[in-house]
Amino acid sequence: MRVVIQRVAEASVTVDGDIVGAIGPGLVVLAGFLPQDTRATTAWMAEKVVNLRIFADDEGRMNRSLPDIGGEVLVVSQFTLYGDARKGRRPSFIRAARPEIAIPLYEGFVEDLRAVAPGGVQCGRFGAHMDVALVNDGPVTLVIDR
């Protein structure tokens, strides 16, 4: 499992002109899955994401986590995180989990986040063409693999 996390002031995801998820201050999490990932993987990642100390404290240091600020999470599935562009000009996505594996993992990850994120969790629509809008805060962007 791989996630790209961006600290945001606000974010939204739109599908076919309709906003399907929107948050205020918090995290946008782009999530990709491998065929060997499990619910144990998603649970570990949810805990990791929610408890990262990447929000500023009163002295401006990254010392607070999502629960500390009451922030929200916007999760977007993104199989392209496993794109391999080392050869040629067109990326290969052969490493990414197929939808029959990735959909339950994505849904499990959202469920795991909802169990541990105090401010709420919104999400995009798996497999849809999504327009993601965000106001990066910092910017702070992290990539975490499990």
144: left (phi > 0), else alpha (psi -120 to 50), else beta? beta
Which one of the listed residues 80, 93, 109, 141 is annotated catalytic?
A: 80
Q: Establish whether 38 is a catalytic residue.
A: no
Which one of the listed residues 79, 93, 122, 126 is annotated catalytic?
A: 79
Q: Are 103 and 25 in contact (CB under 8 A)?
A: no
With CA atoms as reference, report the closest residue to 77 among 120, 33, 19.
Answer: 33
Which one of the listed residues 14, 42, 78, 122 is annotated catalytic?
A: 78
Q: Are 17 and 145 in contact (CB under 8 A)?
A: no
Q: Establish whether 79 is a catalytic residue.
A: yes
With CA atoms as reference, report the closest residue to 114 among 53, 68, 64, 47.
Answer: 47
Three-state DSSP class for residue 9? strand
Q: Establish whether 93 is a catalytic residue.
A: no
**Catalytic residues, which ones?**
78-80
